Homo-oligomer: A and B are copies of this chain.
Amino acid sequence: MSESNESTDQEKRKPMSAGLYMNYPIDIKAAIQHALDNGYHFLVTQIILPSYARDPLKKGKMEAIGRSDRVLTCNEWGRLIVAEITKTIDVDCDDEQLYLQNKSRLLQELGFAFHLGVPAIQIYLNQANNTNLARIVYNKLLCMYSVSIWLTVPMAYPSRKNELCDPTEKEDTWNWWNDFRSYCKYEKRLGLVLELPDIHNIPSTSEIDRWLGEPVKALIIHSSLFILNIHGKPVLPKAYQEIIKRFMILDVQYILKTNDTEDIAIYNKYLNYLGRKLYISNENENIYKGMEDFLQNPLQPLSEHLDTNIYEVFEKDQIKYTTYQKAIQKALQDVPKNIETPVVMVVGPGRGPLIQAALDVSSALDRPIKLYGIEKNPYAINTLIQRVQNEWDNKVTLIHEDMRVYNPPDKANIIISELLGSFGDNELSPECLDGAQRFLEKDGVSIPASYTSYIAPIQSTKVYNEIISNRLPDKTILSCFETPYVVHLVNFYRIDEPKALFTFNHPNWNPHYSNERFKRLTFSAVQNCLLTGLIGYFDTVLYQDIILSTHPKSHTENMASWFPIVFPLPEPMQIKGGDKIIVAFWRCESNDKVWYEWCIESPRISSIVNPNGRSYFITKIC
């Protein structure tokens, strides 16, 4: 059973991509063949002749710096080789002469790597201060469009402590990386390679969490980290398995480093076995697959008619509708018995799943209801008309109107809607239900009865770079950063737990009631990190104890609907461990639109994002 499960998962998973690290092989063609034969997909190696790298200043004589580019085809250089920059090159030393020398070596090595057309260049960071290195690499990245840089740091600082420097700041290798990429303005083609530490230096969970918010391209695993199991086979201790399991979500690659380059197949086989063993299947995986970190614009259901694709995606989520059905059943049971035929109105029924749910409840309870469906979308109405005739035995009265203006003959005992967006109120559920409650009995109920949004500060340069890359030609960069995005966010670090933001209750009979909101929330950062925006969730009380939630702590099990929403910051903010992050958030309203504004008050002030809803708003006009 467990075996057959594994094999199914295996079929779904592509095999782990693995690279082999090799010190400058004499015959690179043979070395590649050896790696491929043993299940590896690429080679990480130096491109500069070791003798040249040791003594680059031999002048006068014209000398080869590396092997001829003709030993491999362009296709091989471009697919199979990651070029490692000589580790001894230090352009951030204090000696000016050495700096100039190292700079010219670095430029030469980068230039040769570009010439060869390798897909990635690996550069080790060995120390905290890398300003000059960052400048040179940033300069080159901006002119050379096809290559990526893989910055490589130890996942945890090697245990030999340097007594001269501050242990907390300078020994946290995340800071090395963060400083470097900050100099380079979070450049997208700057990837990260993490070297697994020895067993005494395994980082804490929160450190791993933070690394998972970074563009990690590969993990370096040294064969010395393996231990022998009872069969004498090399395996990785549990602590490493835990780390690898967590990084699988990012589809990272593995780079094996070993002194024994002969017997390399065994490690790769083990890693592939591990990939299958650690892989956890998720019911909704197929729905989500390929949507990781993909930015979607939130729906505008009032001004734009939803299309059939969207309805179909909605309806696939059975968990959501069975939960609704439970709520409807409870609510209908609570309608006083003296009301012979309770009036139930589904506002915005779309293609009818909630109508179906209400009919099912009525039939299950054997209690007849008068059922209305009020829908503004003419194409959804078209579907509903046919379902009323063919499936629902003409038991449903259809109204083709906007619920905010419709004038009904009856008042409803129950109004049912599913107008909630990823942030709860962000598809104007409050405004729509405020309009619809005109035709609700004073003691009638709304399903949902309330909903609450939540926000948390996040680090995700992935989102930052996606926003820049996906800019439409008619938008400014600023306007793209002043817009929230719905996203199945994977490559991010949540800096603190989400906190409740705005709550809306229905019905609401207070005549002075406003749907504008303001709230200030305070979060804490446990460690240095980069604040790039806010992530939003919501939960909703459908009826009494029946709730739906996308809040990570209470997420409705197996519910596929609603990815989180992200509110970006135009300028990422460096955060220190221990900092308080204070967020101010507004929901604003004018005659024709609703929008959010947000800003950071602490540890430093950001300017107010999206003033006047200039870049993003939800229109109230149909």
Please list the residues of chain A having a beta carbon within 8 angstroms of any beta carbon in chain B: 99-100, 131-132, 134-135, 138-139, 142-143, 179, 182-185, 514, 516, 518, 520, 571, 574, 584, 586, 597, 599, 601, 604-608, 611-612, 614
Contact = CB atoms under 8 A, between A and B. Distances in A.
Of the candidates A99, A605, A611, A614, the one having the most CB atoms from chain B within 10 angstroms of its own CB is A611
A434 B99 CA distance: 23
B574 A571 contact: no
B143 A599 contact: no
18 contacts: A131-B520, A131-B599, A131-B601, A134-B608, A135-B597, A135-B599, A135-B611, A138-B608, A139-B611, A139-B612, A142-B611, A142-B612, A179-B605, A182-B606, A183-B606, A183-B607, A183-B608, A184-B607
A189 to B, nearest CB: 14
B574 A605 contact: yes
Nearest to A135: B608
A586 B182 contact: no
Given A100-B516, A135-B597, A139-B612, 17 more contacts: A100-B514, A131-B584, A134-B608, A135-B586, A135-B611, A138-B607, A138-B608, A138-B611, A139-B611, A142-B611, A142-B614, A143-B612, A182-B605, A183-B599, A185-B608, A574-B604, A574-B605
For the complex of A and B, 8 pairs with smallest distance between CB atoms: A185-B607, A182-B605, A139-B611, A574-B604, A139-B612, A183-B608, A131-B584, A138-B611
B518 A99 contact: yes
Contacts of A139: 611-612
Contacts of A520: 131
A518 B611 contact: no
Contacts of A185: 607-608
B607 A182 contact: yes
A99 B517 CA distance: 11
B183 A518 contact: no
A465 to B, nearest CB: 14
Contacts of A183: 599, 605-608
A619 to B, nearest CB: 18
A132 B518 CA distance: 9
A183 B601 CA distance: 9
Contacts of A604: 574
